[in-house]
Structure 1
């Protein structure tokens, strides 16, 4: 008997009659996902068709159109790939992006009771393969969905670089509706997967009163609530925990409880309808991020000759070794806008306290305040893509545009 992926099967094994879904087969063996959520590998001869897999139901029947409630608000799901849209490749044991936005809706039936959906997939990549050109394409796709009438947009994305993409869209797009970036730390085929809860909470946030770009992920390791993190103040702080994402230096702008889906917004959350839709999607890609470390060879800075911008993640208040200052001065003299941030999780850069900091200011370095280094890089790309004069770029970098700073840096501290 030949089975196709997703065929229901019975497995007679070790005196048990098990029910599951056929996933793959090779060399006479079959991988079957049991109804418990666990996978087993058994000789394929032990598998027989379940009643749902009779001859009256063809193996390759086309998927039925999604049934949607016309009375519910319209959400758009833009799928870019990542773990939330991934499964295991049983040939290699690796996780790869395979599911489309429609696959996600079909696999999480609870979504159908929250909204009706339009889906789009501008590309399908693991997040380490994202780049600034894809950020631009993504921002345009989100703009198009909102302009077409979406009450909110959900962007499914790999978690490793989701903070970069979310920040980039936040700077490029002014939105009147929620734009929710969501991912998963564990793929859908794992019993501990967080994909379903994260997706459900993101849909609830998508129909809420929110009006800005956020990241929606588990708030704790338990299935209790998801946090809504402002796109310009979030960081992934753990490689694999379900609550890896944390707001840095402030509380999340909202919470979504589970399973009831109640959305609670903080007092500083931007509300739906506050802004009109606007897209400014120019980026200057010749920018870089460099983390300073003790003993760094000043020649490292030579690699950034000709760059339009450089963000340095310095120590403490925003310092580097004094032997690096001459190289930085040469960069700024040649036209590179150099922005100083801190490796610390919280607090402001202030290069006016110690002698090294004053020398950095004399070398032309711009203070980045409380901006996270990754966010400062994305903002610098956007600022330099939309300005021509250095003084305008400096002013914009030191102005709180999307909640990335605690206050405008021109203000007295």
Structure 2
């Protein structure tokens, strides 16, 4: 039995008739909220639903908070904890368009910005799919036509995928598009959500013309970093400073209510250019000892390209070479990246790499694997197959570092 979240139910359980609020279903168990405020999880086959009352649906809308003559900024919510609120009736977390929470935390923002909130979706970031990137790009374009800059709230787990996908789809932007998330929910004393959002708002009022990510610079609250969307990776599962610009410096830093630029960036343009075609038939394969040719071929079935995360300089077992040849003979592109946190693929050093190069494997240089994935999706959706290799090697959106910054990976 499936119900919309928040549905009022009258159920009979263990001989007792109870009024509850439906929260979720996991396999054969239902989680509901009792009238006393507690949640319980009960077997589906142990209850009888006597009555149900669907919750009222709320139409997604654009809400504008106008105070002073501040810079117009659009906030697009896709889910994640950063702009979510707890529904104390159901215990569920949902996106909130009540930006008073942000304004109350930072009163100066009332005069500095005019913020418009647009609900896009309410999903866990692992459920973000390529077709949703396309829809999100359309919403970003629409909102950027009304605002100086756009902030997109997003769950952190796949935020770098979405950021890089959007970066390739937008050839030019009339303002900054800042992705922002949080590692800890806003109801926790150690939450990073407010600081990340404050930084994102500041970055969105600059002249940057790129897709970027705004997250904590360190474990304290004194600095927020602006990372290029095509060079950023989530490096830790829980730390507030989980995101890092790999092999380079962040574009900027927000500190003491000021934005200081640390490296070069592309400035905003006078027009928006969007190519919103994505080829979804691209997958990523993590090489490991014991990976069989049969497994590699299975993972490549129906794909127009596969991204291999090889060892070191971009190597895989020689036992897989026949399968690579077979895969490529069927028209599938094969791109090599590295499993290492930093550094680049070089297929010219060892015999393994040289043989892969002869077969026709494309080196991704120092592109991050997830960025190579979204770039391949973009190229195959918008350009002829014969241009694939040359364009994979072209630095289109800052995804390839000509010179790597010699710093710690973390």
TM-score w.r.t. the length of structure 2 is 0.79
Residues 81 and 181 in structure 2, CA contact (< 8 A), matched pair in contact too: yes
Equivalent position of 2:237 in the other structure: 239
Query: Take 1:192 and 1:207, find their aligned partners in 2: how far apart are those partners?
Result: 27
Q: Does 1:297 align with 2:295?
A: no
Query: Take 2:232 and 2:93, find their aligned partners in 1: how far apart are those partners?
Result: 24
Aligned 1:252-263 pairs, distance under 5 A: 252-257=250-255, 260-263=256-259
Query: Take 2:65 and 2:76, find their aligned partners in 1: how far apart are those partners?
Result: 19
Shift of 1:374: 0.5
Q: Does 1:398 align with 2:396?
A: no
Counterpart among 69, 93, 108 of residue 102 in structure 2: 108
Equivalent position of 2:166 in the other structure: 169
Shift of 1:242: 0.7
Counterpart among 270, 278, 283 of residue 283 in structure 1: 278
Shift of 1:113: 3.3
Shift of 1:122: 2.1
Q: Does 1:179 align with 2:177?
A: yes
Query: Take 1:208 and 1:387, find their aligned partners in 2: how far apart are those partners?
Result: 32
Shift of 1:90: 6.7
**In structure 2, the residue corresponding to 1:108 is in which secondary structure?**
helix
Shift of 1:341: 0.6
TM-score w.r.t. the length of structure 1 is 0.79
CA gap of 1:30–1:345, structure 2 versus 1, over 3 A, is: closer
Q: Does 1:320 align with 2:316?
A: yes
**Cα deviations by residue, 1:347-399 (Å, 9 ceiling, x for unpaired):** 22111111111111122200100000000000000000011232x11111110
Query: Take 2:90 and 2:292, find their aligned partners in 1: how far apart are those partners?
Result: 41
The alignment of Structure 1 onto Structure 2 pairs a total of residues equal to 344
**Cα deviations by residue, 1:56-100 (Å, 9 ceiling, x for unpaired):** xxxxxxxxx86512511110011000121334577997xx54123
Equivalent position of 1:363 in the other structure: 359
Gapped regions of structure 1 (runs ≥ 5):
1-23, 32-64, 409-413
Equivalent position of 1:55 in the other structure: none
Shift of 1:199: 0.7
> Which stretch of structure 1 is more off in the superposition, 240-249 or 345-354?
345-354
Query: Take 1:236 and 1:288, find their aligned partners in 2: how far apart are those partners?
Result: 20
Query: Take 2:339 and 2:142, find their aligned partners in 1: how far apart are those partners?
Result: 37
Query: Take 2:154 and 2:187, find their aligned partners in 1: how far apart are those partners?
Result: 17
- Post-superposition, which runs of at least 4 consecutive aligned residues in structure 1 deviate over 4 A? 24-27, 87-93
**Cα deviations by residue, 1:326-350 (Å, 9 ceiling, x for unpaired):** 1111111110011101111222211
**In structure 1, the residue corresponding to 2:82 is in which secondary structure?**
helix
**In structure 1, the residue corresponding to 2:194 is in which secondary structure?**
helix
Equivalent position of 1:266 in the other structure: 262
CA gap of 1:66–1:361, structure 2 versus 1, over 3 A, is: closer
CA gap of 1:68–1:30, structure 2 versus 1, over 3 A, is: farther
Equivalent position of 1:56 in the other structure: none
Query: Take 1:193 and 1:68, find their aligned partners in 2: how far apart are those partners?
Result: 27
Query: Take 2:354 and 2:294, find their aligned partners in 1: how far apart are those partners?
Result: 22
Counterpart among 145, 151, 159 of residue 148 in structure 2: 151
**In structure 2, the residue corresponding to 1:270 is in which secondary structure?**
coil
Gapped regions of structure 2 (runs ≥ 5):
1-31, 40-62, 404-410
**Cα deviations by residue, 1:95-133 (Å, 9 ceiling, x for unpaired):** x54123x22x12111242331022212222110100000
**In structure 2, the residue corresponding to 1:199 is in which secondary structure?**
helix
CA gap of 1:326–1:67, structure 2 versus 1, over 3 A, is: closer
**In structure 1, the residue corresponding to 2:95 is in which secondary structure?**
coil
Residues 376 and 392 in structure 2, CA contact (< 8 A), matched pair in contact too: yes
Shift of 1:266: 2.5
**Cα deviations by residue, 1:115-154 (Å, 9 ceiling, x for unpaired):** 102221222211010000001111111111112x310000
